[in-house]
Amino acid sequence: MITERPAIEPIQTDFRLKFATDEQLDMLQEATLRILEEVGVKFPSEKTLRIFSEHGAHVDKDTQIVKIPRQLVMKALSTVPRYFKLGARDPACDLQLQENVTYFCSDGCGVETIDFETRQRRPSCKEDVGKMAHIADYLSAMSFSWPMVSAQDYGTTAPLHEMDASWNNTVKHVQSETIMGEKPCQYAVEMAKVLTGSAEELRRRPVFSLTVCTIAPLVQDKEGIEGALVLAEAGVPVGFLAMPTLGTTAPATLPGAYVVGDAEIISAIVLMQLAHPGAPVFHSMMHAWADPRSGNYISYSQNSGGRYIVVDMAHHWNIPSFGGAYGTDSPVAGNWQSAAEVALDPFLIGLAGAEFVTGMGLSNTYTLLYPESIILDADIYHRARYQLMRQDISPETLALEVIAAVGPGGHFLAQKHTRQHMRASLKPAINHEVGPDGKYRDPVEAARDKVAWIIKNYQPEPLEEAKRKELIRILSAADRELGGGRK
Amino acid sequence: MSQELFESMAQSIIDGDSDVAVELANKAIAAGVDPLAAITDGFVRGVNQVGESFARGEAFLPELVMAGEAMKAAVATLEPEMQKRGTQRQMLGKVVLATVEGDIHEIGKTLVGTMLSASGFEVSDMGVDVSAAKILAKVKEVGADLVGLSALLTTTMVKQKEVIDVLDKEGLRRKVKVMVGGAPVTREWVQKIEADGYSEDAIGAVAVAKQLVGAA
């Protein structure tokens, strides 16, 4: 068993690509402001309506629609921290959001698993969550971890059990995308305090964060938004992920979908800032299409550039962007579709400059886990990471003396310079593994073997026994109160 | 002292350091060490180790080539002493190597030459774009046991067959084995032109050559 964890390798680049001009971003922002002022967003929560009302928003108690004047929007957004820290069990894995650095994590939250041993398709369980966190802990591509699948064997408290399984298997930051409601969020904060030791330390180095999905068009989820307020109060970063679907829950035009999603996100962020000014928040959007022939959900088409333009939109508001990458529609891992759909994502989201990004490893539109997919997606990630690095062009790398020494028609293999640089000059991909027959291995098989190798040979740093027991105690209390637990 | 010297010799090959290899060869001569023993018990062990580590995917091409170059330099240093003593290194066989006519791709053939030479074959590397007639003349001149023919293009690989035909015509085909290589060469092609051996890489070529001369 090895315990040494490869260092986190985020995308670091000063290359930058804007997917919209400032004028276009102004138009998008103006449209969002008009939606917020004139159409409004539905907040089906007495508590949130009260907060909006107290701060001067126009609240219709019957329809639960809140219309927010632009001055109030801008005032609320002025307290959003541009950068903040994501803490981790191991402080060495803390992530400081910053310019020119993009941190990636695994995908979530799938509902089915291709069992790694039997290869049978089955409902996901808590053990899967732990196993994938274990793998994510080892992978340098994974700066932090999302519970990849639902702990369906734990019923209503599954989201808390997903956190438990994650914290027991990775020292990296964990972000939930499933904890909903005030009570579950309070339990999550209690659990996190076990890890950090105090509420103050949790605020300083939040060991978890939460992504809350909004409901398109222009509705907030009661449980989601009320839970988010609990976390914002505790200083735990909370972000809002809009998933407008063109043609059904959003206009059939991309900009129309962007502004519907943006209004959902901004209205939620305004609420957080009104209630808890300075709370760390983030902006996230993954649009999709309804197949016009069937209504089927399509997250990747040939014009999937909306995944990148939304990063510019977040930054235009001066809010950190949580980019949406990966999550192929392919029901099968390791085929052409699964690579082609996602291959540009880490590269272009890195160029767009998202501060952090989800998420590697799921198929069938974020629903199905093939454990080996995380290795294949991480391979694509590293390709982007290397391509976004500035190259070293210097006398040593220009090698003019060596070129002169070899001259026309010779070869460079016998040069000390070649020996010195050749090993590092090729960054081998998963398809460069050589099998016993001397031939390059099938990358999907190599990925499966890597999963097996990590599980067998790598031991993530275990959670201290006292903390592990305390988490179990809190979970038991949550199970009792909320009616969850092992089914 | 010898054991320590032999180990340093092997290490100089593993390090691909021709200067150190030559220095150690001279040291061996000065100390009266049998030059054959220096090769067999010293330098060759380094070559074998690099070859094995290359086969495991641990060593890279430049390490392989530099090991071969260091070996060549060491043997060249020891040769006058061997002549003086009236001894000579037991070679595994004589090989004529060439890239066939119309083809100027060299690197694969050169790698094979380096590895064969480092592994104990006497190699005559004729370079690139060599006609069948010239290859035949060289085979006769050196009394070759093996001919290695390289081709990188589908348009030039047919020349490999031409060399085999010429050797056949001269009645040399039984005595002289033919190995072929190059990116377009496949096992099926080898069978079709009735060559004797083929490998996809330089290390494999050494094993094939050894097999063909009965030294495997």
Give residue A72's pLDDT: 98
The pLDDT of A213-227, averaged and rounded, is 95
- Report ipTM for this prediction: 0.71
Nearest to A85 by CA among A206, A233, A247, A263: A206
Cα–Cα distance, B216 to B211 (Å, whole number): 5
Give residue B70's pLDDT: 94
Nearest to A357 by CA among A108, A135, A90: A108
Over the stretch B77-90, which tens digit does the pLDDT of each residue have? 999 999 999 888 88
**Burial of residue B78, with CB atoms counted within 10 A of its CB: 0-12 exposed, 13-18 middle, 19 or more buried:** buried
Residues of A in contact with B200 (CB under 8 A): 438
Of B66, B201, B204, which is closest to A419 when you measure between CB atoms?
A: B66
Residues of B in contact with A419 (CB under 8 A): 16, 60, 62-63, 66
Over the stretch B18-69, which tens digit does the pLDDT of each residue have? 999 999 999 999 999 999 999 999 999 999 899 888 878 788 888 888 998 9
Q: Which chain A residue has its CA at the smallest distance from B65's CA?
A: A414
Contacts of B182 (CB under 8 A, 6+ apart): B105, B108, B150, B151, B152, B157
> In which region does residue B16 sit, left (phi positive, over 0), alpha (psi from -120 to 50) or beta (all else)?
left
How does residue A268 score in pLDDT terms, banded at 50, 70 and 90?
very high
- CA dihedral over A49, A52, A56, A58, signed as positive or negative: negative
Give residue B155's pLDDT: 83
Q: Is residue B60 less than 8 Å (CB to CB) from chain A?
A: yes
Of B57, B107, B200, which is closest to A411 when you measure between CB atoms?
A: B107
Tell me the shortest Cα–Cα distance from B70 to chain A, in angstroms: 10
Over the stretch A62-118, which tens digit does the pLDDT of each residue have? 999 999 999 999 999 999 999 999 999 999 999 999 999 999 999 999 999 999 999
Of A423, A434, A438, which is closest to B60 when you measure between CB atoms?
A: A423
The β-bridge relationship of strands A121-123 and A112-114 is antiparallel
CA angle B175–B140–B148, rounded 5-degree value? 65
Tell me the shortest Cα–Cα distance from A139 to chain B, in angstroms: 22
Q: What mean pLDDT value characterizes chain A?
A: 96
Q: Is residue A405 less than 8 Å (CB to CB) from chain B?
A: no
Phi, psi (deg, nearest 5) at residue A104? -115, 155
Q: Which chain A residue has its CA at the smallest distance from B55's CA?
A: A438
Residues in chain B: 216
How does residue A198 score in pLDDT terms, banded at 50, 70 and 90?
very high
Least confident of A153-162, A375-384, B201-210: B201-210
The pLDDT of B142-171, averaged and rounded, is 94
Give residue A214's pLDDT: 95
Cα–Cα distance, A464 to A452 (Å, whole number): 25
The β-bridge relationship of strands A58-60 and A65-67 is antiparallel
Record: contact B65-A414, CB cut-off 8 A = yes
Of B16, B57, B110, which is closest to A434 when you measure between CB atoms?
A: B57
Q: Which chain B residue has its CA at the smallest distance from A426's CA?
A: B60
End-to-end CA distance of chain B, in Å? 32
Q: Is residue B107 less than 8 Å (CB to CB) from chain A?
A: yes
Cα–Cα distance, B85 to A408 (Å, whole number): 41
Record: contact B61-A438, CB cut-off 8 A = no
Percentage, residues of chain A above pLDDT 70: 100
Over the stretch A36-58, which tens digit does the pLDDT of each residue have? 999 999 999 999 999 999 999 99
Record: contact A413-B106, CB cut-off 8 A = no
Cis preceding-peptide flag for A251 (omega within 30 of 0): no
Per-residue DSSP letters for A416-454?
Answer: HHHHHHHHHH----GGG-B-TTSSBPPHHHHHHHHHHHH
Q: CA of A14: how far to CAs of A350, A353, A425, in Å?
A: 10, 9, 21
Give residue A476's pLDDT: 97
Token pair for A388: 């976004």
Q: CA of B31: how far to CAs of B24, B28, B35, B43, B107, in Å?
A: 10, 5, 10, 16, 38
Give residue A243's pLDDT: 95
Over the stretch B84-111, which tens digit does the pLDDT of each residue have? 998 888 899 999 999 999 888 888 898 8
| Residue B119: half-sphere exposure toward Cβ, Cα within 13 Å | 30
Tell me the shortest Cα–Cα distance from B97 to chain A, in angstroms: 17
Over the stretch A119-130, which tens digit does the pLDDT of each residue have? 999 999 999 999
Of A414, A423, A434, which is closest to B66 when you measure between CB atoms?
A: A414
Give residue B87's pLDDT: 86
Q: Which chain A residue has its CA at the smallest distance from B128's CA?
A: A409
Q: Is residue A422 less than 8 Å (CB to CB) from chain B?
A: yes
How does residue B1 score in pLDDT terms, banded at 50, 70 and 90?
low
